[in-house]
Amino acid sequence: MRYYTDEHEWIEVEGDIATVGITDYAQGQLGDIVFVELPEVGAMIEQGKDAAVVESVKAASDVYAPITGEVTETNSALEEDPSLVNNAPEDGGWFFKMTIAAPAELDKLMDEDGYKAFVEGL
């Protein structure tokens, strides 16, 4: 099941692990991404708080944690090739995987159709 936030992160839930990235809309807004600063594996991150930083040619943008949990893995491919976020934002350009500390947080997120409608309204 894939969820979306109004801050343009996506979160794919498989069992008790969630994979997090930014949406195609977000990467389009940011432009050419040259660096992604990922959280440390083992870090506890809190819903709505800073989790990562995306640097485009023009500016640095914060990526917020879509839910609360512990970071279990980060996408090391982004170190070599940050443009994965531009080219495959909702696939190979994922940011990190995390545990789901409070499953109820997921209930407040959007599904794909809901996010689509949200973006169309922007």
Partner 1 sequence: MAPPKLSGHPTEGAVTQRCRKVLPDCRILPGIIRVSDHETENHLEDIPLEALPLDAWHRARGARMVPFAGYEMPIQYEGIVAEHNWTRESAGLFDVSHMGQLVLSGPDLDAAVEAVLPIDLSTLKLGQQRYSLLLDEEGGVLDDLMVSRWPEALYLVVNGATKWDDMGTLREALPDDITMNYLDERALLALQGPKAADVLARHATGEYPLSALTFMKFGRFQIAGHDVTIARAGYTGEDGFEISLPAEAAAEIADLLCAEPEVKPIGLGARDSLRLEAGLPLYGHDLSPETSPIEAGLIFGINKRRRTEGGFPGAERINREIAEGTARKWVGLKIEGRLPAREGAEVFSGSDKIGIVTSGGFSPTLQAPIAMAYVASEYAAIGTQLEVEVRGKRLAATVSPTPFVPHRYYRGN
Between 35 and 103, CB nearer to partner 1: 35
CB of 58 to partner 1, least distance (A): 5
CB of 104 to partner 1, least distance (A): 31
Between 11 and 30, CB nearer to partner 1: 30
CA-to-CA distance for 21 and 65, rounded, in angstroms?
Answer: 10
CA-to-CA distance for 38 and 74, rounded, in angstroms?
Answer: 7
Between 18 and 38, CB nearer to partner 1: 38
- What residue type is 101 in one-letter code? A
Residue 70 CB coordination number (10 Å): 15
Q: To which residue do tokens 């692990």 refer? A: 17
What size, in residues, is the chain? 122
CB of 77 to partner 1, least distance (A): 14
Structure token digits, residue 73:
């893995």
Between 43 and 53, CB nearer to partner 1: 53
What is the CA 35 to chain-centroid distance, rounded? 15
CB of 35 to partner 1, least distance (A): 5
Name the residues that contact partner 1, by CB under 8 A: 31-32, 34-35, 37, 53, 55-60, 82
- What residue type is 86 in one-letter code? N
